[in-house]
Structure 1
Amino acid sequence: MSSPEPVAVILSRGELDAVLFDLDGVVTRTARVHAAAWKRLFDAYLREHSTDPDRDFQPFTQEDYRRYVDGRPRLEGIRCFLASRGLSLPEGAPDDGPDAETVHGLGARKNAWFLEELEQRGVEVDPAAVALLEQVRAAGLRTAVVTSSRNGAAVLRLGGLEHLFDARVDGVEAGKLGLAGKPAPDTFLEGARRLGSEPARTAVFEDAQAGVRAGHLGGFALVIGVRRSGETGALLRAGADVEVEELSAVRVEGAAPPRPEFHAEGAMP
């Protein structure tokens, strides 16, 4: 059994009022489920729509996932990856089914496969994330989950995590409000607003390069890159203030009186 990672980050109660957490890859391990669904989607599509049958099939890779898809809204991820391969699709409409050859259709197909994978695998929760969230809340800091996923509510419910967050900004909420997805900072800024916290007194935890860039562009007090895979230092180059491999490397310092009852706009049910 490996020893805990040395403390690399200290969250100071005197300097922070709130903490924002990405969901997939930070609090849960569902990023693996997303990656499997994306690979299934794009490998099938690329095999079927190869523009040069004489060339070897080039599958969807982990690097493709990190560069073009991870942390982005679903439809934007589809557009970005297809463009990287010189491909495009008509947008279609939000009610397109999974058989439609449109961006929305591929989005529906991916989501169906994600939910199928989730049903089979369940939601794997990171114990270190739960321990950190409990420390953060015990210190009187407010918490929100900010995720591009439109399945955020279901993942939180299945993982038994709802009680750890004061508010949620997910893909559904972002769509309702017309918020630009990561790497734009809009969803993180909305999360801080719902918690009544200024970005300068709010920390962000992210595992995706797009999300790290969003936190950096939003002017947040501290952007912690959580490296679950990929090259060491990539999240630092994307704008993170510090990069850790495990959330056990984070400690909260400073106590506060018992948390007052707080009702955030868009609070968790």
Structure 2
Amino acid sequence: MSTARDLPAVVFDLDGTLVDSEPAYFEAGRRLLAAHGVDGFGWEEHAAFIGIGTRETLRALRERYALDAPLEELLAEKNRLYLELARTSAAAFPEMRAFTSMLAERGVPMAVASGSSRAAIEAVLAGAGLDDRLPVRVSAEEVARGKPEPDVFLEAARRLGVSPAACVVVEDAPPGARAARAAGMRCIAVPYVEGTSGDPAFRAADLLFPGGQREFTARAAYDWLTGAAGGTR
């Protein structure tokens, strides 16, 4: 039987992977844009930015809609709106909660690496009841580049004290899967958006659940991680 020392560390994306916080992110973005005179921001437009850091998303939206407000002001406003919503609305996906429990029982090192702000990460983990289980956290605010660049994952490995090759990333969006690959890490892909499972970044993942959270099970991921599933899916 493999020991915890034999198993790779697991680095989780947060939004859309561990917790269902994307609706709160969408609503925060919609309210932000409406406050700056932009109406009609819809879910499909939001979905195009899933997996991309908040700063990078707002930079693109600021340019698209020719917003006058400085980027830092928009970022602070978006984070404030999001925190108001996420503290009470973001819930952990049940099978992801079960997966973290299995890993914790084996003593597997775990971290969160997210495009969200540090304050958002901490608020969401606390609201979802996962804060004690995942004390190692990296925000895109703390690195030079957000996803799809590998910086947050490389920093997570550094804080865990392991090599990138000894890490497995759990991701829900193509930019995150690309970031994992660029970091030299294996990837479990659990697509959040229906229809994105055929994205090349997901097809290159080491373990893919094409049906996303409705297909993902803690047991299947754990068995693959421990080698019981016999290779990749």
Sort the TM-score into its range (normalised by shorter chain): 0.7 to 0.9
In structure 2, the partner of 1:165 is 134
How far off is 1:40 after superposition? 2.5
Matched-pair contact (CA < 8 Å) for 2:19–2:90: yes
Deviation at 1:243, TM superposition (A): 2.8
Amino acid at match of 1:18: A
Q: Distance in 1 between matches of 2:208 and 2:44?
A: 19
Q: What does residue 186 of structure 1 align with? A: 151
Amino acid at match of 2:126: R
Match runs of 1:145-160 below 5 Å: 145-150=112-117, 151-160=120-129
Query: What is the letter of the counterpart of residue 66 of structure 1?
Result: A
1:77 matched to 2:57? The reply is: yes
Aligned counterpart, 1:5: none
Q: Which has the higher contact order (CA 8 A, sep 6+)?
A: 1
* DSSP-derived class of the 1:81 partner: helix
Match of residue 230, structure 1, among 184, 194, 198: 194
Partner of 1:103: 71
The separation in 2 between residues aligned to 1:124 and 1:156, in whole angstroms, is: 9
Matched with 2:173 is: 208
Which letter does structure 2 place at the counterpart of 1:79? R
For 2:170, give the aligned amino acid: F
Structure-2 change in CA distance of 1:226 and 1:235 (3 Å): farther
TM normalised by structure 1 equals 0.70
Alignment-derived partner of residue 252 in structure 1:
222
Specify the code of the residue in structure 2 equivalent to 1:111: N
Q: Does 1:112 align with 2:80?
A: yes
Which residue of 1 is the match for residue 231 of structure 2?
none
Q: Return the TM-score normalized by structure 2.
A: 0.80
CA RMSD of aligned residues (A): 2.7
Q: Does 1:32 align with 2:23?
A: yes
Note the C-alpha offset of 1:112: 2.1
Q: CA deviation at 1:241?
A: 3.4
Select the residue among 71, 94, 97 that pairs with 1:130.
97
The sequence identity of aligned pairs, in percent, is 31
Structure 1 unaligned spans of 5+: 1-10, 50-56, 91-100, 256-269
Paired residue secondary structure (1:72): coil
Say which one has the larger Rg: 1
Q: Distance in 2 between matches of 1:166 and 1:37?
A: 26
User: CA contact under 8 A between 1:152 and 1:171: conserved in structure 2?
Assistant: no
The structure carrying a bigger helix percent of its residues is 2
CA shift in 2, pair 1:130/1:236, >3 Å: farther
CA distance in 1, matches of 2:86, 2:221: 31
Q: SS of the residue aligned with 1:251? A: helix
Figure out how many residues of one structure are paired with residues of the other and give that number.
Answer: 216
